[in-house]
Chain A
Amino acid sequence: AQTVTQSQPEMSVQEAETVTLSCTYDTSESDYYLFWYKQPPSRQMILVIRQEAYKQQNATENRFSVNFQKAAKSFSLKISDSQLGDAAMYFCAYRGNTGNQFYFGTGTSLTVIP
Chain B
Amino acid sequence: GAVVSQHPSRVICKSGTSVKIECRSLDFQATTMFWYRQFPKQSLMLMATSNEGSKATYEQGVEKDKFLINHASLTLSTLTVTSAHPEDSSFYICSASILRKLFFGSGTQLSVL
* Residues of chain B in range 73-102 having any CB-CB distance to chain A below 8 Å: 91, 93, 95, 97, 100-102
Residues of B within 8 A of A42 (CB): 106
* Interface window among B11-19, B20-28, B38-46, B62-70: B38-46
Residues of A within 8 A of B104 (CB): 44-46
Total A residues in contact with B, Cβ cutoff 8 Å: 22
| B: number of interface residues (CB 8 Å) | 21
Stretch touching chain B among A15-23, A63-71, A72-80, A94-102: A94-102
How many angstroms from the CA of A72 to the CA of B7 in the assembled complex? 41
Q: Are A35 and B101 interface neighbours, CB within 8 A? A: yes
Interface string of A77-114 (1 = CB under 8 A from B): 00000000000010101010000111011110100000
A binding-site residues for B, Cβ under 8 Å: 33, 35, 37, 42-47, 50, 89, 91, 93, 95, 100-102, 104-107, 109
